[in-house]
Every structure is written in C-alpha cells, then in structure tokens.
C-alpha cells in the first residue's frame, strides 16, 4: 500500500532578485548628456532630488560635466573605471623583460662563481695528490 503524502512544507528555495549581486552600471553617452542637461535646468535645491530619483551620485555628475567640458560628447563615451594606467603595455613588457635579464645575469654570475670554486678545489686536490706521492 502506498504511503500517504506528507504535510511537509515545500523546501524549494526561490531566488530573491533583491539579494542577487549587482553588477557595475554602464551609462551611455546620450544618457549622461541628458542628465547633465536636466541638472543644469534644475533650480536651487532640486538637484539632490534629481540625483536620488535617477539613483546617481553627485561625483558622477561632476565627473561627467568635466568630461563633457574637456572633450565634448566624445568625452562622455569613454567610461573606463579606475585611474588611467601610468605605463603603456609596451613599457610594462620592457620592464618585465629587463627584470628577467637581470635575474638571468645574476644566475649566470652565480654559476660562474660555482665554476671558479670547482676549479680552485680541483687545483688544490691535484696539488695535494702530487705533493704526497714521491
């Protein structure tokens, strides 16, 4: 005889979209320009409400304004997070190779020192063997 269905609650876990990890937001250049124009049209005291409504930070707006003032619409298109690199990829590759050359030179010097020591030891052994035999 089959068992009766148990009255256990459903243990299936349902994902909650609020708890999922958020990804970095990416803003298009036309959106940035529209926000800058809306911010410029704001009266005294309305800017904070605009930023809260659009879920933006004041430093984002100031960065976008600086980029727009410096390079126009093309300045708004670039949106690489973090500081710009101080060295080009070629410069980093050159530094890496220079470190590798220095390491190999040090290893070569060490190997030559080992060879010099081996030669001296062999010389001493030869002298002691030749000196003991009449």
Q: How far apart are CA 48 and CA 53, in angstroms?
A: 9
| pLDDT at site 49 | 92
Overall pTM surpassing 0.75 (yes/no): no
Top pLDDT among 78 and 103 is at 103
Q: How far apart are CA 94 and CA 107, in angstroms?
A: 20
| pLDDT at site 61 | 93
Reported confidence tier of residue 110, pLDDT bands at 50, 70, 90: very high
Taking the mean position of all CA atoms in its chain, how far away is CA 3? 58
Choose from 35-39, 73-77, 97-101, 125-129 the range with maximum mean pLDDT. Answer: 97-101
| pLDDT at site 10 | 66
| pLDDT at site 86 | 85
Dmax of the chain from CA atoms? Answer: 111
């Amino acid at each position: 005889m089959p068992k009766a269905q148990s009255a256990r609650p459903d243990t299936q876990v349902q994902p909650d979209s609020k708890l999922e990890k958020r990804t970095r937001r990416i803003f298009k250049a036309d959106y940035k320009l529209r926000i800058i124009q809306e911010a410029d049209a704001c009266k005294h005291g309305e800017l904070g409400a605009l930023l809260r409504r659009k879920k933006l930070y004041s430093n984002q707006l100031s960065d976008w304004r600086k980029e727009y003032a410096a390079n126009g619409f093309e300045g708004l298109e670039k949106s690489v997070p973090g500081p710009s690199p101080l060295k080009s990829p070629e410069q980093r590759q050159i530094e890496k190779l220079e470190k590798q050359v220095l390491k190999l030179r040090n290893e070569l010097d060490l190997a030559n020192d080992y060879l010099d020591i081996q030669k001296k030891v062999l010389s001493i052994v030869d002298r002691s063997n030749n000196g003991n035999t009449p």
